[in-house]
Amino acid sequence: MYDTEPLTEADPTDVGSRIDPVLARSWLLVNGAQDDRFDAAARSRADIVVLDIEDAVAPKDKDAARDNVVRWMHAGHSDWVRINGFGTPWWAADIAALSKTSIGGVILAMVESVDHVTETAARLPGIPIVALVETARGLERITEIASARGTFRLAFGIGDFRRDTGFGDSPMTLAYARSRFTIAAKSANQPSAIDGPTVGSNPLKLSEATAVSAEFGMTGKICLTPDQCAAVNDGLSPSLDEINWARDFFAEFEGDGGEIRNGSDLPRIARATKILDLARAYHIVPNDYEISDHAPAPTDTYHY
């Protein structure tokens, strides 16, 4: 049922392509005050480019950064924007300016209650909103935030969360918080949450941090530089070993007549189907690679 043509890694020269935000792994933040960096971001391996007019921009530069983003959108782009939080002096102006552009979506900073999302959604009808939860107060309300009308996906603002709580950055210390994000997202029938960024350019550190994200079921990750995107994409995609396992499983299953043999077949069918669907979506296997009809298509990046 499944062909045997060689599997290939994604072409590293194939840059500048965006992916459906439901499946997006790497979310690249770009300082909105530095519009000379926009072109490089657009050519990066990021699944989603996010022009940042919030945390990266000093108060005195907020208006100029917003103007930069509006000009970029009017030039024919449809990237995402991280806007200032509800209740700040810039929130309403951000929304008013961006509502007249072709933005793909917004990341709303410092979400601490349902109202922060619903008020933003009311002013940006039809625009997907990622709720960036960055405080203990927000974490305590994360189930309600995830279920709020207008919330498209959750994201973990690790830096501000650690400042707010005094937590360290070890996986064990942040395990509870990450678990809450994943459970809230799944309870609200959303794509899995987007993990916070890893500071620095050490490849091993980034690889290990991305593995932690995947271990906790978080299927996207914020990136701070374009060179982080490829590693994050690789770490949040099915590996060639996993793809080979899925293909071998279906070959065996079909060879036995394609009938359910025992209780373990259904979860293995679901897992194998998801691996192969995602491999095709991420161009790890050819687009015409045959996919099983035994389970629905995936709703988020690979984990099981």
Q: Please give the helix or strand (H or E) that residue 223 lies within, else none.
A: strand 220-223
The per-residue b/e assignment along 141-172, b for 16 or more CB within 10 angstroms, e otherwise, is: bbeebbebebbbbbbbbbebbbeeeeeeeeee
Which token pair is 218?
């978080």
If one compares 302 and 261, the residue with the highest pLDDT of the two is 261
pLDDT at 207 over 70: yes
- Residue 201: its pLDDT value, please? 76
Residue ranges of domains in the chain:
26-235, 237-304
Confidence of residue 200 (pLDDT cuts 50, 70, 90): confident
Q: Distance (Å, rounded) from C-alpha 9 to C-alpha 236?
A: 14
If one compares 181 and 264, the residue with the highest pLDDT of the two is 181
Residue 27 CB neighbours (<10 A) = 26
- Residue 261: its pLDDT value, please? 81
Q: Distance (Å, rounded) from C-alpha 214 to C-alpha 242?
A: 14
Confidence of residue 285 (pLDDT cuts 50, 70, 90): confident
- Residue 299: its pLDDT value, please? 52
- Percent of the chain having pLDDT more than 90? 79
pLDDT digits (tens, 9 = 90+) for 140-152: 999 999 999 999 9
- Residue 15: its pLDDT value, please? 52
State the SS3 of 71-85: HHHHCCCCCEEEECC
Give CA separation, 4 vs 25, 87, 250, 289, in Å. Answer: 27, 56, 12, 10
- Percent of the chain having pLDDT more than 70? 88
Q: Give the strand pairing for 194-195 and 220-223.
A: parallel
DSSP 154: E
Domain covering 26-235, topology: TIM Barrel (3.20.20)
